[in-house]
């Protein structure tokens, strides 16, 4: 990282502090270390860019931490934090924030003001929801919210995090993705295993940069995959294992870059298990052939339907015309020969052909009538 302007760079950490063997630190010891951190960080003659307070049994983060304006990396993982102060929004240069493995149930709304934040790890907490304001962290490249108690994601998350490349939401209770997730056009890795997801959004095919998709172990909830998955042209790895999927989407053959496909522990019917056991390329070939066969069958049905409709239309037209002819000829003949005149067998046969109408009138009858 460029230190620039001749400023002295100071890295302050507690994880590497020397602790006498067998001596247990108490809260006073931790507080003293935190005070030292703040004193050094707020010294106008020093620039502190990195603070590591991981594994220190911290229960709270002092408000003045928000005044370390030059801070770029802050590691507070593996502590006992229950709350993050709103003052964290003062860390306008912060690029990496690690809050993993704490006791957090909420994040402050002010976190959305960290416009330069690139990596946020809040995995292994007790979060039940994320603030809608998180969409304001537009510079985020990686977001890890795995191993929490989340049941949903913020509705607008995808509209804000347009630069996000890696999203980890595994080991939660999420049932569905918000539609806005399909706006994360930069997303390359999406890990959603061990949730309660029952479907993928229809527009998921818009994530054309997605390379790795893991929706395994959603068990009885996930039963089908949308056909639009075939539009994920960059997809290399797809894990659908441990679900209730019976039929793979036919468009899976379009995934030319797909080299890893895991469909274990699904009640698959299509493709059959003997095809699955031969690997991803055989699966794609099978699904492509199935797709072509279905298209051919559909075209055949359309052709039969069109011809039937054309035949029906011709018969209706021909019947109408010949009914008129029959009526006209009958009246003319009756007027010409008189009502008591003997019938002409040949003429009577032709009139009977015309009179058949919709009760068996065909092109053969029409041709027979015309030829005579």
Residue 103 has pLDDT above 70, yes or no: yes
The string of pLDDT tens digits covering residues 301-310 is: 878 777 776 7
DSSP string of 320-337, one letter each residue: HHHHHHHHHHHHHHHHHH
Residue with tokens 């069109």: 306
The average confidence (pLDDT) of the chain is: 84
The string of pLDDT tens digits covering residues 155-173 is: 999 999 999 999 999 999 9
Residue spans in the chain of domains classed CATH 3.80.10.10:
9-293
CATH 3.80.10.10 fits 9-293, yes or no: yes
- Long-range CB contacts (< 8 A, 24+ apart) of 307-315? 314/363, 315/358, 315/361, 315/362
Name the pLDDT band for 4 (thresholds 50, 70, 90): very low
The string of pLDDT tens digits covering residues 185-230 is: 999 999 999 999 999 999 999 999 999 999 999 998 899 999 999 9
In whole angstroms, give the CA distance from residue 215 to residue 168: 11
Which residues, 6 or more positions from 332, have their beta carbon under 8 angstroms from its beta carbon? none
The average pLDDT across 57-78 equals 93
User: What tokens does 143 get?
Assistant: 């977001």
* pTM of the full structure: 0.76
User: Helix, strand or coil for residue 274?
Assistant: helix
DSSP string of 133-199, one letter each residue: GGGG-TT-SEEE--SS--S---TTHHHH-TT--EEE--SS------GGGGG-TT--EEE--SS----
Residue 145 has pLDDT above 90, yes or no: yes
**What angle is formed at CA 146 by the lines to CA 142 and CA 147, rounded to 5 degrees?**
160
Residue with tokens 């009246």: 331
């Amino acid at each position: 990282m460029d230190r620039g302007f001749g400023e002295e760079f100071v890295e302050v950490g507690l994880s590497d502090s020397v602790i006498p063997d067998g001596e247990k630190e108490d809260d006073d010891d931790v507080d003293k270390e935190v005070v030292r951190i703040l004193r050094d960080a707020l010294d106008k003659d020093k620039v502190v860019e990195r603070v590591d307070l991981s594994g220190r049994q911290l229960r709270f983060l002092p408000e003045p931490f928000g005044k370390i304006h030059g801070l770029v990396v802050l590691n507070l993982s593996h502590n006992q934090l229950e709350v993050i102060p709103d003052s964290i929004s003062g860390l306008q240069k912060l690029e990496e924030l690690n809050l993993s493995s704490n006791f957090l149930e909420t994040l402050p709304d002010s976190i959305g003001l960290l416009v330069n934040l690139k990596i946020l790890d809040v995995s292994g907490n007790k979060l039940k929801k994320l603030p809608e304001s998180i969409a304001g962290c537009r510079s985020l490249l990686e977001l890890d919210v795995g191993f929490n108690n989340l049941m949903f994601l913020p509705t607008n998350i995808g509209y804000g995090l347009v630069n996000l490349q890696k999203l980890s939401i595994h080991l939660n209770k999420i049932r569905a993705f918000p539609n806005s997730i399909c706006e994360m056009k930069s997303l390359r890795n999406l890990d959603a295993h061990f949730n309660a997801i029952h479907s993928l959004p229809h527009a998921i095919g818009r994530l054309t940069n997605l390379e790795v998709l893991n929706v395994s172990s959603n068990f009885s909830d996930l039963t089908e995959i949308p056909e639009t998955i075939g539009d994920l042209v960059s997809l290399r790895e797809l894990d659908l294992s441990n679900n209730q999927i019976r039929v793979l989407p036919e468009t899976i053959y379009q995934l030319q870059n797909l080299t890893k496909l895991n469909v274990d522990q699904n009640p698959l019917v299509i493709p059959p298990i003997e095809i699955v056991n031969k690997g991803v390329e055989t699966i794609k070939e099978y699904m492509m052939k199935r797709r072509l066969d279905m298209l051919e069958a559909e075209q055949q049905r359309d052709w039969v339907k069109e011809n039937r409709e054309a035949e029906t239309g011709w018969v209706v037209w021909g019947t109408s015309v010949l009914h008129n002819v029959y009526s006209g000829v009958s009246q003319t003949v009756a007027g010409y020969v008189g009502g008591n005149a003997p019938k002409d067998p040949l003429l009577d046969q032709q009139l009977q052909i015309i009179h058949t109408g919709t009760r068996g009138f065909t092109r053969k009858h029409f041709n027979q009538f015309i030829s005579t």
